[in-house]
Structure formats: structure tokens, C-alpha cells
Amino acid sequence: MIHDPAEWLADWLQTDMGGDADGIAAFVVGLNGGKRPERRVGNLYAASVGDEGLLLENIMQDDWPPVLVPREMALAGLSAGG
């Protein structure tokens, strides 16, 4: 997989966040400056909110670096996926 933030975001939303409205809402709040959710480990990704956006780590590929999804891109994806 290419380490493209948009692709990682779409994959994370499909594999780890499908049907999780509460989880999606928590990430939206955190990305909008509210309380940040704890690092969440899902089926394929670990996700956390940082100052610059959503940080996704592929937990199946230890040698792959984390990918930062910029805040605006993450919010748009979460809004579409929620």
C-alpha cells in the first residue's frame, strides 16, 4: 500500500470504524480541539489525534511508518464516514 493519507484514512474508516458512530464522534471532537480520545487499536490500525491531525499506524506492518492525515482531510473523511 502506498503511504497516502487519503488511502489510509479510507481504509481505516472501512476496516476499523465501520458502524462505530460513538468512536467517529470522539475523533471529530478531538480534531476540533475538544477532548482527544485515547489511542485506539483496531483491526488493522492504531489511531490517535495529534496537534496536526489524525495519526494512523498500521499494526500489521511494524516496518511501515505512521501516516499523518491532516486535520481537515480527517474531518472530511470522518464526516462522510459517520
pLDDT in the model for residue 81: 64
* pLDDT tens digits, 25-76: 999 999 999 999 999 999 999 999 999 999 999 999 989 999 999 999 999 9
**pLDDT band at 3, cuts 50/70/90?**
confident
pLDDT in the model for residue 82: 52
Number of C-beta neighbours around residue 82 at 10 A:
15
Could you tell me which residues are beta bridge partners of residue 69?
54
Count how many residues are written for the chain: 82
Residue 1 has pLDDT above 60, yes or no: no
- The domain spans of the chain are 5-81
Query: CA 15, CA 34: separation in Å to the nearest integer?
Result: 25
pLDDT in the model for residue 23: 96
Side-chain half-sphere of 71: how many Cα atoms within 13 Å? 11
